[in-house]
Amino acid sequence: MARSWSKIFHLAIRDYVHEWLMSICFVLALAAVLGPMMVLFGLKFGIVGAMVDQLIENPLNREVRPVGSGYYDHAWLETVLERPDVAFLVPRTRSIAATIELSSEHSPRIVPVELIPSDHGDPLLSPDDPLPEGVTRLVLSQSVAEKLKVAPGDTLDGSLTRHFRGQQERVHLPLSIAAIAPAAAFSRDGAFVSVALLEALEDFRDGRAVPSLGWDGDAADANRTYPGFRLYARSIYDVAGLRDAFSKLDVDVHTHTTEIELVQRLNRNLTSIYWAIALVGLVGFSLSLGANLWANIDRKRKELSVLRLVGFRTADIVWFPMVQSLFTAVLGWALAVAIYLVTALVINDMLAAQLETGQQVCRLLPWHYAIALLLTCTSAVLAAGLAGLRSARVEPSEGLRDL
Amino acid sequence: MSSAISTAPQSGAPLIYHLRDVVKTREAKDAAFTLRIPSLQIAMGEKIALIGESGSGKSTLLDMLAFILQPSEIGAFSFRPERDEQPLNIQAYWKKGKINELGDLRKRYIGYVMQNGGLLPYLTVRDNMNLCRSVLGLRPDGMVEHLADELGITAHLNKLPDALSTGERQRVAIGRAVAHRPSIVIADEPTASLDPYAAEKVMSMFIGLAEEFDITVILASHAWDHIKQLGLRRLTHRTIRNHNKMFTETVVTG
């Protein structure tokens, strides 16, 4: 049995090579349908993928920001943080108190900066960089770092003033630069600091004592509340749910849900359009492949009859066109991949100026190629198998006479 | 109506084929054809000729003997390919639809020469001649080269059939049918497309090889002149056509 299979495999290859012109035509016919389909899917996947990636990769899209001021205490914040759809949450102090003037010995400028509360897992900061911890370390925004001509490891002088008991007071504190934040994290003059430092600055401005920094004042309030918070959802798909949850708690929030929904809708619409085109393409592809293989087997009936005459069995006769169809499928797929790769290269190159580094408008993942190959081979084997079976069922004497 | 001479099978030799009341009927829209074989006995080693005009049912009979055409009715149909084996009931094979098993018998015991050679265009002459041998898994033993030498086609062994003349292709087809040393070779007008001189030459090569390898031969031809001197037993047949050729019946006995 194995011998006759290997023999028929060998004969199928010989015939395929002998009829190379016809084989090339079959391969071209297949690639002509499959190639454009791959480009179409590459475009759909690339365009929507790039938009979704941009949405996912940009943490600003996951931000849920309260509108206006509220009174959020630790217990409330802890409850929110426990939600599985919340990735990051830190309280904000009053924005008017969350500023500081920074100066360095490398620059004559004094730069007033906004202070942003931060903590472990801050999505705006690089996870590889040191965090702004304690009351003496901060992460600068790039604009501030450039203005003050400083780098990580340098020390800055931070200063702030208050009116306390009828007098203007100014305090200074040394602040070491833990890291410089990525440019996209914060575009204005700002610094990421610990909540502890922000609370200390707010306490100082409110005339309260900050023992850790040696600043005098009134006794601190034990029941601290915060006017706002910085919150990031775990993914862009959690943003709408969080917005609704806050709405139930009567907390007005601002989110990027509109943009997210726009891309999701676009994805859905593009997917529908793609599948409509793909379905038509797939039907055309299957018909084209099936018709080609069917015609080929009909053409080969006489030669298959000779094989039957010399004693090959039914299964061997079916195997012959299936082997050839598999060749056509694999070669057609390879050519379609080549067509796709060249087209994708040209499209991506043409639009490179409008794209971020590494982004591609037309792209496919390895498993997309594998699925295309699997679909092609399955269709080919089915069409050839059916046609081969039909051929094998014909009485061998019928096909012989005209050879 | 036509008739032909008949001689009885050689006495003593076991029968390779024994057919009784075998009928093949073919019906088309405007014509019907029936081949009737009341009795046919072919002994091992015999050389049989079936002579008749086109459409008299020669190919139909050969195809049934090669198990590639199912008879419409069978009284008895036995096949005994080897002297030391029991006759096989071909009727039972057809009845049970054992197409593959009939193929196995054909592969092992039958060689077939078609009118136009039936060579595979993608195989060289050598591979075409070796086809039946390779299907049986026979190792190269110089048989193909020996046959090519006998048939005068050694120079063409590595060529494709396209490069050969019709006569050379027929010689390759004969070589392919004989190369695996079958018990019987069935030849359907093997020299029909050749000129008389070439036909006579090819036919005597064929019969010479069959005698060399002790192979039973059944051949169909429409020209008795080419083969009468080769000593073949001629089967009797009678063809009846009605006046408007709507119905043809051939009765073969031998």
- The pairing of strands B15-27 and A107-118 is unpaired
Domain ranges of chain A: 2-56+262-400, 68-251
- pLDDT digits over A252-272, tens only? 999 988 888 887 787 788 778
State the Cα–Cα distance between residues B91 and A328, nearest whole angstrom.
Answer: 41
What is the average pLDDT across A219-235?
A: 88
Q: Cβ distance A253 to A239 under 8 Å?
A: no
Domains present along chain B, CATH in parentheses: 15-253 (3.40.50.300)
Picking from B61, B105, B107, B120 by the largest number of A CB atoms within 10 A of its own CB, the best residue to mutate is: B120
A16-54 per-position pLDDT tens digit:
999 999 899 889 988 988 899 899 889 888 887 777 777
Count contacts between A and B (CB, < 8 Å).
69
- Taking CA–CA distances from A19, the nearest residue in chain B reads B122
Residues of chain B with pLDDT under 50: 1-8
Nearest beta carbon to residue A396 from set B68, B135, B136: B68
B123–A19 CB contact, under 8 Å: no
Q: Which of A4, A324, A400, A402 should we substitute to test contact with B (largest number of B Cβ atoms within 10 Å)?
A: A400
The pLDDT assigned to B3 comes to 35
Residue A1: the pLDDT is: 57
pLDDT of residue A374: 93
The radius of gyration computed from the CA coordinates of chain B, to the nearest angstrom, equals 18
Nearest CA in chain B to A17: B122
Q: Do A309 and B68 touch (CB under 8 A)?
A: yes
Asked if A403 lies within 8 A of B70 by C-beta distance, the reply is: no
Residue A47: which of A265, A229, A234, A266 has the closest Cα? A266
**Which residues lie below 8 Å from residue A154, measured CB to CB, with a gap of 6+?**
A104, A106, A176, A177
* B66 chain-A contacts, CB cut-off 8 A: 309
Pick from A14, A311, A401: CB nearest B122: A14
Whether residue A325 is predicted with pLDDT greater than 70 in this model: the reply is yes
Q: Where are the extended beta strands (E) located within A242-366?
A: 253-254
For B46, phi then psi, to 5°, come to -70, 155
Give, as one character, the DSSP assignment of residue A312: -
Dist CA A307 CA A11 (whole Å):
10
In this structure, the number of other CB atoms found within 10 A of the CB of residue B223 comes to: 15
B chain contacts of residue A306, beta-carbon cutoff 8 Å? 118, 120
Q: How far B106 CA sits from the closest chain A CA (Å)?
A: 6
User: Which of B106, B118, B123 is the closest to A14 by Cβ?
Assistant: B123
Q: Which residues of A touch B (CB under 8 A)?
A: 3-4, 7, 11, 14-15, 17-19, 303, 306, 308-314, 395-397, 400-403
Contact assignment for B118 to A11 by CB distance below 8 Å = no
Q: Which residues of B touch A400 (CB under 8 A)?
A: 63, 68, 114, 118
Inter-residue contact A23 to A29 (CB < 8 Å): no
pLDDT (0 to 100) of residue A290: 77
Task: Flag if B106 and A311 touch (Cβ within 8 Å).
Answer: yes
CB count within 10 Å of CB A62 equals 24
ipTM of the complex: 0.87
Q: How far is the alpha carbon of B35 from chain A, nearest alpha carbon, in Å? A: 16
**What's the confidence (pLDDT) of residue A117?**
95
Q: Answer whether B69 sits within 8 Å of A397, measured CB to CB.
A: yes
What local confidence, expressed as pLDDT, does residue B159 receive?
Answer: 96
Could you read off the pLDDT of A141-174 as tens digits, one per residue?
999 999 999 999 999 999 999 988 888 889 999 9
Q: Mark yes or no for CB contact A403/B118 under 8 Å.
A: yes
Cβ neighbours of B160 in A, within 8 Å: 18
Condensed to tens digits (0 to 9), the pLDDT of residues A60-114 reads 889 999 998 889 999 999 999 999 999 999 999 998 889 999 999 888 889 999 9
Residue A185 confidence (pLDDT) above 90 = no
Instruction: List chain B residues with CB under 8 Å of A11.
Output: 120, 122-123
Residues of A in contact with B128 (CB under 8 A): none
Beta-carbon separation of A3 and B66 below 8 A = no
User: What is residue A298's predicted lDDT score, i.e. its pLDDT?
Assistant: 78
DSSP letter for each residue of A30-54: HHHHHHHHHHHHHHHHHHHHHHHHH
The reported pLDDT for the residue numbered B204 is 87
What is the pLDDT, as a whole number, of residue A399? 67
What percentage of chain A reaches a pLDDT higher than 90? 45
> What is the greatest pairwise CA distance in chain B?
56
Chain A residue numbers touching B134 (CB-CB < 8 A) = 7
What is the model's pLDDT at position A179? 93
* pLDDT score, position A58: 79
Question: Tokens 């010995």 sit at which residue?
Answer: A105
pLDDT tens by residue, A272-298: 887 888 788 778 777 877 787 778 777
Q: Considering CB atoms only, which of A18, A309, A313 is closest to B121?
A: A18
The H or E element spanning position A327 is: helix A314-350
**Does A19 sit within 8 Å of B68, measured CB to CB?**
no
